[in-house]
């Protein structure tokens, strides 16, 4: 009843553990962006189906995968190579009554872990993600950190999806977030140019988590001093300090990432004004 989709690009270190966590599934698909390491060989050795496509941006890539990959089953569990399906989540998925379900997608709680194994329980900003769904009822928007848009009702599923964003080291995390900042800045520039409006009411009261997060992010981008605001929000409001040293460091890294976006947006705005 369940297919698994794993997105990869040079994931030879993380992919074995990810595949092991979903070894109970007989329809695993690795959606690869032309890795030049052993990723594809590892996937094929594990019996996974491999589909290759050049990566352009997150939403376009994910939408293409859902539309073109031939899944065996009507429900898809979507995970990244640095994520693991916990035993509790496996049990919840396999015991779910999907035949009689009236929903099209399920939210799953993700646990982010720091480089030292600390669960960033308080520092983590977004704990719930729509990762289990009927592929024809799901689409994505935004170039990076895409917005999941289900075509129908959603529900929550028990269990945790464990995430190890620092599995390749802090240097890799920073490098990757520099590229994310490029895409975030490009979207910010597009929103400015097209006059996209964000709703404060939806940012506070929207029932759908992804919709609420979309409007919160749009409003947040308009605030001055965003990096400092983000640090205070994470450390004081979210109480990241309760996660110890790792929580405070993670909040600082997220604030630096926010500053990357600020700098890159200014750079793009300067280039646009020169070109006028």
Mean pLDDT per segment of 10 residues, for the chain of length 276 residues?
96 98 98 98 98 96 98 98 98 95 96 98 92 97 89 96 97 96 88 75 74 74 87 96 98 96 90 69
Pair of tokens at residue 6: 């794993």
Q: Could you give the number of structural domains in the chain?
A: 2
Whole-angstrom Cα distance, residue 101 to residue 208?
Answer: 19
| Same domain as 56, residue 16 | yes
| Same domain as 202, residue 149 | no
Sheet holding 83-85, edge to edge: 49-52, 28-32, 2-8, 75-80, 128-133, 105-112, 154-163, 83-85
Whole-angstrom Cα distance, residue 206 to residue 200?
Answer: 10
- Angle at 146 (CA atoms; ends 143, 181), nearest 5 degrees: 50
Contact (CB, 8 A) for 62 and 39: no
Whole-angstrom Cα distance, residue 123 to residue 105?
Answer: 26
Contact (CB, 8 A) for 128 and 106: no
Range of the domain at 192: 170-275
Question: What is the per-residue pLDDT for 187?
Answer: 85
Burial degree of 217 (CB within 10 A; 0-12, 13-18, 19+): middle
Question: What is the per-residue pLDDT for 190?
Answer: 80
Whole-angstrom Cα distance, residue 2 to residue 170?
Answer: 34
Neighbours of 27 (CB within 10 A): 17
Contact (CB, 8 A) for 159 and 86: yes
**Backbone torsions φ then ψ of 59, nearest 5 degrees:** -65, -45
Neighbours of 256 (CB within 10 A): 15
Whole-angstrom Cα distance, residue 142 to residue 252?
Answer: 25
| Same domain as 183, residue 136 | no
C-alpha separations of 193 from 181, 187, 231, 272 in Å: 18, 10, 28, 11
| Same domain as 157, residue 39 | yes
| Same domain as 100, residue 71 | yes
Question: What is the per-residue pLDDT for 201?
Answer: 80
Where is the domain boundary, 130, 163, 196? 163
First to last CA, the chain: 55
C-alpha separations of 59 from 53, 64, 142, 258 in Å: 13, 8, 6, 21
| Same domain as 267, residue 190 | yes
Whole-angstrom Cα distance, residue 182 to residue 268?
Answer: 9
- Site of tokens 């909040």: 251
CATH code assigned at 106:
3.90.550.10
Of the candidates 267, 100, 89, 95, the one whose C-alpha atom is nearest the C-alpha of residue 178 is: 267
Pair of tokens at residue 56: 């352009």
Where is the domain boundary, 163, 187, 213? 163
Question: What is the per-residue pLDDT for 206?
Answer: 78
Question: What is the per-residue pLDDT for 275?
Answer: 59
Where is the domain boundary, 106, 134, 163? 163
Indicate the pairing of strand 147-150 with strand 138-141.
antiparallel
């Amino acid at each position: 009843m369940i297919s698994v989709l794993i997105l990869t690009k040079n994931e030879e270190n993380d992919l074995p553990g990810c595949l092991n966590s979903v070894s109970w599934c007989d329809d695993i698909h690795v959606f690869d962006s032309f890795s030049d390491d052993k990723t594809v060989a590892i996937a094929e050795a594990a019996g996974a189906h491999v589909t290759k496509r050049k990566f352009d941006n997150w939403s376009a890539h994910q939408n293409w995968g859902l539309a073109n990959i031939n899944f065996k089953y009507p429900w898809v569990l979507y995970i990244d190579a640095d994520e693991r399906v916990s035993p509790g989540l496996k049990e919840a998925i396999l015991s779910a009554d999907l035949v009689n379900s009236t929903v099209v997608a399920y939210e799953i709680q993700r646990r982010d872990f720091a480089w030292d194994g600390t669960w960033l329980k308080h520092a983590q900003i977004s704990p719930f993600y729509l990762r289990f769904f009927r592929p024809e009822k799901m689409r994505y928007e935004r170039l990076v950190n895409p917005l999941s848009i289900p075509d129908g009702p959603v529900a929550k599923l028990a269990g945790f999806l464990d995430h190890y964003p620092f599995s390749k080291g802090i240097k890799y995390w920073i490098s990757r977030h520099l590229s994310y900042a490029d895409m975030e800045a490009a979207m910010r520039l597009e929103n400015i140019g097209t006059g996209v409006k964000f709703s404060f009411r939806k940012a506070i009261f929207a029932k759908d988590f992804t919709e609420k997060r979309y409007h919160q992010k749009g409003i947040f981008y308009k605030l001055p001093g965003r990096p400092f605001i983000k640090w205070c929000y994470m450390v004081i409001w979210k109480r990241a300090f309760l996660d110890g040293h790792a929580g405070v460091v993670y909040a600082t890294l997220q604030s630096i990432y926010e500053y990357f976006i600020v700098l890159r947006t200014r750079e793009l705005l300067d280039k646009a004004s020169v070109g006028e």
